[in-house]
Amino acid sequence: MFPLTRWNPSRDLVSLHRDMDDLFNRVFGRTERWFSLPSMMGEINYPAIDVIKEGNDLVAHVELPGVDPKDVEINVTGNLLTIKGERKSEKEHKNEDYFSREISYGSFERSITLPVDVNTEKIKAEYHKGRLEIRMPAAEAIKGRKIEIETKEEPRKIKAA
């Protein structure tokens, strides 16, 4: 059985673009690119996020290399986690100066739906070496508890014969 993967049309278009470039380069030799698909579509800039469960907490690990934590905003509403930010270029270069350009700069925004509501008052975030960790305790109502079933039975009366 094959694992389910999330369909991302942007990734498929970029992959098709790369394959077409490879085909043209093999047939016609190395040519200069006239356009860049991501620049035509606007920068597609989503940070990678892993969310795991640790005890009663949900922990999100967000890859943000080269992003200053001061340029990142985290919002949680109900069970929706939103991360906004901006990766700024340290130096400004003209497009003609680049031999290769794969690192994207600019604004990004990523929202994911969490499996449960979280207690927004107790969320903590730490940034270390390009990785943001967001620890979110599950809301009290979500923890769950075992419900005991009460029984009200009348005592049985035994009739004497």
Residue 69 and residue 88 in one domain: yes
In a domain, 149, yes or no: no
Residue 113 and residue 95 in one domain: yes
In a domain, 152, yes or no: no
Q: How far apart are CA 20 and CA 10, in angstroms?
A: 15
Q: What pTM did the predictor assign?
A: 0.59
Question: Which helix (DSSP H) or strand (DSSP E) does residue 109 occupy?
Answer: strand 106-113
Domain that includes residue 12, residue range: 8-44
Query: Mean pLDDT for the chain?
Result: 78
pLDDT tens by residue, 31-81: 444 444 444 444 445 788 999 999 889 999 999 988 999 999 999 988 899
Residues written for the chain: 161
Q: How far apart are CA 151 and CA 157, in angstroms?
A: 18
Residue 39 and residue 103 in one domain: no
